[in-house]
Amino acid sequence: MTGGSAGTGSHKERNSVPRPSADERRAQYRECRRQLEALLEGESDLIARMSSALALLRETLPQASFLGFYRALPDRWLVAGPYQGPVACLRIRFGQGVCGTAAMENRALLVPDVHAFPGHIACDSQARSELVVPVRAAAGEVIAVLDLDSHEPAAFDACDEEECERLMALIAP
Ligand code: SME
């Protein structure tokens, strides 16, 4: 698996760095969480909170080709929120694709091979793997999902899933 520490180059350059050890990755997530908590202090706007999380996650997950939020609407559609990466589809129905399934089932979905996920929505034909994590309000209902895509197969693992769940627990104002 490739990936690596935070960098500023293109996707390919960023992926040429060896992937850090599990301990290093946990430390990066710890630092990401610390910075996010500090950034979100006193800010109640959901879009500002999501945007801040993405800016930090981009540095923590250099293997991600797309990082974005889809917000849950009352009519059970997801609509694009802040995102970074190539242009994405703007609306996804609950139950459709990886994002819509995660929203409908209110659970994280780790997809090491998107071609093996029935109904995967290919916004980016180069996407190979994906991690979707719900953002929940205090009562537990899904208010958004975090969508992470990568051009590498199996770019995310259980550590990313667990750590992103912890980060997403900070997002609801
Ligand atoms: N692949 C997602 C759609 C969103 S894009 O990847 C940005 C899905 O299947 O839900």
* CATH among 3.30.70.1230, 3.30.300.160, 3.40.50.720, 3.30.450.40 for 11-168: 3.30.450.40
Instruction: Among 96, 111, 147, 156, name the best residue to mutate to test ligand 1's pocket (greatest count of ligand atoms within 8 A of Cβ).
Output: 147
**What confidence score (pLDDT) does residue 56 get?**
97
pLDDT higher than 90, residue 152: yes
- For 120-150, write each residue's pLDDT tens digit: 999 999 999 999 999 999 999 999 999 999 9
- Predicted confidence band of residue 55 (pLDDT cuts 50, 70, 90): very high
The full set of domain ranges for the chain reads: 11-168
From the CB of 123, is ligand 1 less than 6 Å away?
A: yes
Please check the confidence at residue 162 and state whether its pLDDT lies above 80: yes
pLDDT of residue 18: 74
* Ligand 1 atom index nearest CA of 66: 7
Q: Is the CB of 164 under 6 A from ligand 1?
A: no
Mapping DSSP onto H, E and C, the string for the chain reads: CECCCCCCCCHHHHHCCECCCHHHHHHHHHHHHHHHHHHHCCCCCHHHHHHHHHHHHHHHCCCCCEEEEEEECCCCEEEEEEEECCCCCCEEECCCHHHHHHHHHCCCEEECCHHHCCCCCCCCCCCCEEEEEEEECCCCCEEEEEEEEECCCCCCCHHHHHHHHHHHCCCCC
